[in-house]
Amino acid sequence: MLNLILFGPPGAGKGTQSDLLMTRYNLTYISTGEALRNEINEGTSLGLKARHIIESGGLVDDEIIVQIIEKTIQSQKHGDGFLFDGFPRTYVQAFILDGLFTRLQTVLSRIFILDVSDEVCTKRLLQRANEQNRADDNEKVIKRRLQEYHQKTFPLLEFYTDSGIATTIDGNGTAEYVFEQIDKHIVEELRKRPANIIMFGYPGSGRATQAARLAKAFNLQVISTGNLLHEEVKAGGALAERIEPFLKAGLLVPDEIVVRLIEKKLKQNDGQSRGYVFKGYPRTLVQAYILDGILKKQGTAITTVINLQVPVLELIKRLDARAKTAERMPYDSETTTIVARLEEHQKRTEPVLEFYHNHNQVISIDGNGTVETVYEKIYDPVMKAIRNLK
């Protein structure tokens, strides 16, 4: 999930940036004040307690605030993350929010601090007061609100600065300019997250090409079991003698051998990439479970499954055309062989795809069009899948 906090003095433009962030990233807006008012208006037990405190001239304590925030978070399941406004406001509440995220098995992604001078904030608020006829936004009130922000918020920002997730943004430019700076940091944050993608599709659908594009864009490593097997044989590796007879006969290599090669490849990575794009694996339900186990040992899991969908006639045309190029494969030579490969793929792979469908991990992509067009269709769904990781 993408969980953000937006800090800034009154007049910094938090409202405008919040709207842009919610639209771009499908975030749920959580405002302490709004959540509190909802509880009071609905007459809930928490709302009644809060009303009594407020009517007595007191401030609603953290015991009630944390329950209201948790209730609000748990009731909002449709978004891809949360954007907090007005919470946390104190050092203690910062720890409370960390505790809430721990219970939700997620974390705070980033905090953006809109850096705008008091002079600019005052000018903006006075202009807003004039345009909206708001008598409460006068210079005296604005000065008090700015002082309160500095007194209460700066100590809190020190807490988050030490955590390494706070980013200061120059908020003096246009709304578009400010959002561009925020968005750049969010994209950078998402690109750091671990990701493991499975590339599905019939022969000729463009799996290899799109796998390479994704690997380059997201700092992933392509793992093709076919390539691993051939590399092991060519290098005369420890498993070469066991692999070669299966390759010559055109048979599937036993899972025990393939697993060892995949684990060997993962160990060689040593943190050089953030994850993997699996092409040609898994091909059976057993292999799907095996892959889950392999990744669990690495402390990670499958992020998403891309299924490139291309009509059968188009697949045959592509494979037939490839047979006339230097990139031809031995099995591209005859139409009957091509059709047999497509039928074999359907028989073996469709149950695996259904397995991932049942786990809501499949993103179906129209594979028609140029390489660039297809990649553009893939990019945003993959980014969203990475963003939704807890």
| 359 plus 314 within the same structural domain | yes
Question: In the predicted model, is pLDDT for residue 390 greater than 80?
Answer: no
pLDDT of residue 103: 81
- The answer to whether 361 touches 305, Cβ cutoff 8 Å, is yes
Q: What is the mean pLDDT of residues 225-244?
A: 88
120/264 same-domain check? no
pLDDT for 1-29, tens place per residue? 789 999 888 889 988 999 999 998 889 88
Same domain, 166 and 18: yes
Q: Are 185 and 241 in contact (CB under 8 A)?
A: no
Distance CA 31, CA 33 (A): 5
Residue 177: inside a domain: yes
Q: Are residues 105 and 227 in the same domain?
A: no
Shared domain for 181 and 226, answered yes or no, is no
- What domain count does the chain have? 2
- Which pLDDT does position 389 carry in this prediction? 62
Residues contacting 335, CB < 8 A, separation 6+ = 316, 320
Are residue 106 and residue 217 in the same domain, yes or no?
no
With cut-offs at 50, 70 and 90, classify the pLDDT of residue 270: low
> Stretch 234-242: mean pLDDT, rounded?
87
Task: Please report the DSSP string for 45-97 in residue order.
Answer: HHHHHHHHHHHTT-PPPHHHHHHHHHHHHHH--SSSEEEEES---SHHHHHHH
Does the structure show a pLDDT above 90 at 51? no
Q: Are residues 223 and 184 in the same domain?
A: no
Residue 346 has pLDDT above 80, yes or no: no
Q: Identify the CATH number of the domain in which residue 311 sits.
A: 3.40.50.300
- pTM flag (> 0.75): no
The pLDDT score that the predictor gives to residue 47 is 87
pLDDT tens, 67-118? Answer: 888 888 877 767 788 998 877 877 888 888 888 888 877 888 899 999 999 9
* Residues 240, 222 share a domain: yes
Higher-pLDDT residue of 46, 325: 46
Q: Are residues 250 and 165 in the same domain?
A: no
Residue 69 CA to residue 87 CA, distance in Å, equals: 9
**Residue 274 above 90 pLDDT?**
no
pLDDT digits (tens, 9 = 90+) for 294-327: 888 888 899 999 999 988 888 888 777 776 766 6
Asked if the structure places residue 361 within a domain, the reply is yes
Determine the average pLDDT of the residues in 36-62: 83
Q: Which one of 174, 191, 208 terminates a domain?
A: 191
> Averaged over 384-389, what is the pLDDT?
76
Considering the domain architecture, whether residues 321 and 361 belong to the same structural domain is answered as: yes
Structural domain of 86: 2-27+79-191
From CA 126, how far away is CA 133, in angstroms rounded? 10
pLDDT at site 94: 84
E-strand stretches of 183-332: 195-201, 220-224, 275-279, 304-309
Residue 328 has pLDDT above 90, yes or no: no
**Residues 22 and 144 both lie in one domain:** yes
Q: How far apart are the first and last CA of the chain?
A: 5
Residues 364, 225, single domain; the answer is: yes
